A and B are shown apart, each in its own frame.
Chain A
Amino acid sequence: QKEVEQDPGPLSVPEGAIVSLNCTYSNSAFQYFMWYRQYSRKGPELLMYTYSSGNKEDGRFTAQVDKSSKYISLFIRDSQPSDSATYLCAPGGSYIPTFGRGTSLIVHP
């Protein structure tokens, strides 16, 4: 079993939809939870960073962590074509995050 599992997609949605991106992990020591966005042929960009269980909101983005079920979610409200990218979840327990393979999101006008 991989430490971090993520459905690669692609996930295709119409503009304005609410998007739910999910990730599961196996290491109960993970305490930090990050989401990165990666556009094609670019480096990952840090979107959200949370510690422990709970929700965190930043504009159209909400990150949710459920440590009891080892489940991480990222919600995007009012999705835009510019949100089309690969979204990588990256939980971590020490100082190095472990990346999922990413979910490709396509938002069509």
Chain B
Amino acid sequence: ETGVTQSPTHLIKTRGQQVTLRCSSQSGHNTVSWYQQALGQGPQFIFQYYREEENGRGNFPPRFSGLQFPNYSSELNVNALELDDSALYLCASSLGRSGAYEQYFGPGTRLTVT
């Protein structure tokens, strides 16, 4: 069984640029959720994808967008980067929407915006 993987591990971008983060879900899981974790804070829910459709969204602006592919891997795109976007971005996979309570996290992508 393969766990959740994320790429890249670290990323440095300049304010105003765009970034794409990638996530491969755990084998057999069809739901992917994305979280933003600022330093010293808990993860904040960005959105969830279930079977390639957005299934819920947290309090994040439209410049945060995503995709889920037929193999259930996922991308998080952030446009017009701001300094406050610097954080650890976590992807979590689960089986089914209600299974988000038993979700498994990847190691995260640490994004630094300068």
Please list the residues of chain A having a beta carbon within 8 angstroms of any beta carbon in chain B: 4, 6, 8, 32, 34, 36, 41-46, 49, 88, 90, 92, 94-102
16 A-B residue pairings within 8 Å (CB atoms) = A4-B42, A41-B110, A42-B107, A43-B92, A43-B106, A43-B108, A44-B105, A46-B103, A49-B102, A92-B101, A95-B98, A95-B100, A96-B45, A96-B56, A97-B100, A99-B42
Query: Could you tell me the distance between the alpha carbons of A98 and B48 in the complex, rounded to whole angstroms?
Result: 14
Q: Number of B residues contacting the other chain (C-beta, 8 Å)?
A: 26
B45 contact set on A, CB distance < 8 A: 96, 98
Min distance, Cβ B30 to any Cβ of chain A, angstroms: 13
Please list the residues of chain B having a beta carbon within 8 angstroms of any beta carbon in chain A: 4, 33, 35, 40-45, 48, 56, 58, 90, 92, 97-98, 100-108, 110
- Pick the contact of B107: A43, A90, A100 (CB < 8 A): A43
A88 contact set on B, CB distance < 8 A: 42-43
How many contacts between A and B, using CB within 8 angstroms?
Answer: 56
Do most interface residues of chain B lie in helix, strand or loop, or is the interface mixed? mixed
Query: Could you tell me the distance between the alpha carbons of A34 and B108 in the complex, rounded to whole angstroms?
Result: 20
